[in-house]
Structure 1
């Protein structure tokens, strides 16, 4: 039984088909590259909501791009025969695109690391402030001895997703 949700495989039979496949793949790559650039720009300056607003479109474009790459791979021999110059252009564009993807991933990883660090520091501060201060082995104002069970009492951390 065939899966009707999948498009029919692209088959390149002539120079026009080869040029069309390469042009479509380059177009999708340019669209995805522009979207990744916008996302990176927003996240770099702290506008996370704007940066992540186009995630569904990014996912859709990435899927179409991967399908295009699969079609290019499946027709590699025909493309090399009918459009060798276009293949060279596609390789060069793919190299630039890989740099944009790497930069985008670095920006997102940095934002994730910073936000995790902020949350960890906030949680530690809330826990420290919530611990009772009293007389302990260190004198007035020192912290009581830790629980013999290794548990620390911490205040709940509440996040607002509307920010």
Structure 2
């Protein structure tokens, strides 16, 4: 959406305006769907940095898309009157878009779960390697942080 539309609400008064609004919202939806697909592809392939590079573009498109949806809601009666086929097109496009968002969220949730599992298993391994090995009952090394602490803090490098 154009920045000047944010200050004054858009009112649809004719068929051309209704069709232009539908085309604009559909264009934003398709552009956002493309970015989500690219992000999902990068994350699936393990290229997290490239996936994260799309965040600004995704955020800007999402903001414009939601603004377009609000404009469409404000003009629902005019859209139904001047462009009934456009309303159906928006509904069908939104259903397809919801599937793309769900697929993207699944990919991101899977990547998060895998990352958390790796960090947890790494922390457990580090803790195991620092535990003293003795004969008989397992011993806990003395810790300046309190009883029962087996390892120090886990440090991550963000430059990988």
Q: Does 1:161 align with 2:158?
A: yes
Alpha carbons of structure 1 residues 14 and 5: separation in structure 2 relative to 1, 3 Å: closer
Deviates more, 1:5-14 or 1:114-123: 5-14
Number of residue pairs aligned between Structure 1 and Structure 2: 154
User: Does 1 or 2 have the higher relative contact order (CA < 8 Å, sep 6+)?
Assistant: 2
Give the corresponding residue for 2:120.
120
Alpha-carbon distance in 2 for matches of 1:132, 1:7: 66
Alpha carbons of structure 1 residues 5 and 23: separation in structure 2 relative to 1, 3 Å: closer
Q: Which runs of 5+ in 2 are unaligned?
A: none
Give the corresponding residue for 1:140.
none
**3-state SS of 2:139 partner:** coil
After superposition, the CA RMSD in angstroms is 1.9
Q: 1:70-89 residue pairs with structure 2 within 5 A?
A: 70-89=70-89
Q: Which runs of 5+ in 1 are unaligned?
A: 138-142
**What is the TM-score normalised by the length of structure 2?**
0.90
Alpha-carbon distance in 2 for matches of 1:103, 1:23: 24
Could you give the per-residue CA deviations for residues 72-128 of structure 1, whole angstroms, max 9, x where no partner exists? 111000000000001101110100000000000000000000000000000000001
Alpha-carbon distance in 2 for matches of 1:5, 1:20: 14
Q: 1:77-156 residue pairs with structure 2 within 5 A?
A: 77-137=77-137, 143-144=138-139, 151-156=148-153
Higher strand share: 1
**3-state SS of 1:46 partner:** coil
